[in-house]
Amino acid sequence: MNRKKKKLPLNDQGSLGSSLGAALKAQGFNESAKPGPLATVKPPPAATPTSALPQVKKVVLSRERKGRGGKTVTVISGFGQQSAPLKPLARTLGKALGTGVKVEGETLIVQGDQIVRLKEWFKNEGVVTVISGG
């Protein structure tokens, strides 16, 4: 099935002309016209930074490998039955640490052995007690 391709003429100016300026002139736009004053638009108010961390005083960090295919994960617990969802905290932690974080019930599962980095992050966020287990 040999079909011949249609060739478009390259030197045909068509309805647009040779440039955008020529097309605008053909439509009646004047290039020397000065634009009027722009309406001042107020930027949206800056959002107050809200911590994704629920108000907790103590978190427990532990390392696990059992039931994870030999992969090491760090389990964060101690949130209790908080009314605040843990998904925003998981997203914030994932961005801060550059690792995968998921929510399992009332715990967070962080990929890899991240106890030292998590301990520092929670201290900076204002958690009073960070307990790390083996």
Count how many domains the chain has.
1
Looking at residue 69, which CATH number applies to its domain? 3.30.780.10
Q: What string of pLDDT tens digits covers the 134 residues of the chain?
A: 677 776 655 555 555 457 777 777 777 777 666 666 655 655 555 444 445 666 777 889 999 988 888 899 999 988 776 656 788 889 999 999 999 999 988 889 999 999 989 989 888 888 878 887 76
**How far is the C-alpha of 35 from the C-alpha of 53, rounded, in Å?**
49
Q: Is residue 44 part of a domain?
A: no
Q: Is residue 102 part of a domain?
A: yes
Q: Is residue 121 part of a domain?
A: yes
Domain that holds residue 100: 58-132
pTM score of the predicted model: 0.58
Q: Provide DSSP, 41-102.
A: -PPPPPPPP--SS-S-SEEEEEEE-TTTTT--EEEEE---S-SS-SHHHHHHHHHHHTS-EE
